[in-house]
A = this chain, B = another copy of it.
Amino acid sequence: MIAEPRLVEVRKNVLKKNDICARTLRDRFQAAGVLVISLVSSPGSGKTAFLEKTLTCLRKDYRVAALVGDLATENDALRLARSQAPVKQITTGTLCHLEAAMVETALGDWDLSQLDFLFIENVGNLVCPSSYDLGEAVRLVLISVTEGEDKPLKYPTIFNSADVAVITKIDLAKAVEFDWTAAAASIQAVRPGMEVFKVSAKSGEGMEDFTKFVSARLTQMRAVPAV
């Protein structure tokens, strides 16, 4: 993002195009009855480890799949493939976020009606992904206990654009002297009432609460008939 008047204009056009594409995707997801959940965070907040654990947990009872964005490498897709769920990597080159059109292209000929959950892991970036709707039903913002408690105050837009916060790597909370009260206050200051999950992909702590939450959201979505 660059603060030049002409750029702002161009960016608005790109966003408009993205919004149209995202709306089409959202309708398609709704019609197929698949709950789409995206993940945003800094690089290294543990998106992939958390997603691998989530896919492994949910796979027992649901049909799950994932798309994963990165500037370079297919490392994350390879890691996620260990969960046995279908996974596709989106390599963005120098682009610092995913856009709806990339999701559409990556989906290819996947039959979405054969899925219960589709996860979309964004490029590691706490700024730019906030502006791009991917058609997801739920956007998760992840922060790890190793990052510091004031991240929501410093990156308010991404917290405002997300539906749910996930605090990761809680097994390290003691080692880094994580201040839970300060973290909760930061989140609530930026997004009052935001639901927060506390998880460790390593120990599995908190994963059950999270999977229960997404299962309930799936049931809720399917109870509302597609328009």
A71 touches B7 (CB 8 A): no
Q: Any chain B CB within 8 A of the CB of A31?
A: no
Residues of chain B within 8 A (CB-CB) of A72 are 153-156
Q: Is A218 an interface residue (CB 8 A)?
A: no
Residue total for A at the interface (Cβ-Cβ under 8 A): 45
Query: B residues within 8 A CB of A99?
Result: 2
Could you tell me if A43 and B153 are in contact, using CB atoms closer than 8 angstroms? Answer: no
Q: A42-B43, A151-B44 are in contact. Are A71 and B157 (CB under 8 A)?
A: yes
- Given A148-B44, A151-B43, A157 contacting B2 (CB threshold 8 A): no
A75 partner, pick from B44, B70, B150, B175, beta carbons under 8 A = B150
A147 at the interface (CB under 8 A from B): yes
Contacts A42-B42, A72-B154, A73-B150 supplied; 13 other A-B pairs, CB < 8 Å: A2-B95, A3-B95, A4-B14, A7-B10, A42-B124, A43-B147, A44-B148, A71-B127, A71-B155, A75-B150, A96-B96, A172-B176, A175-B175
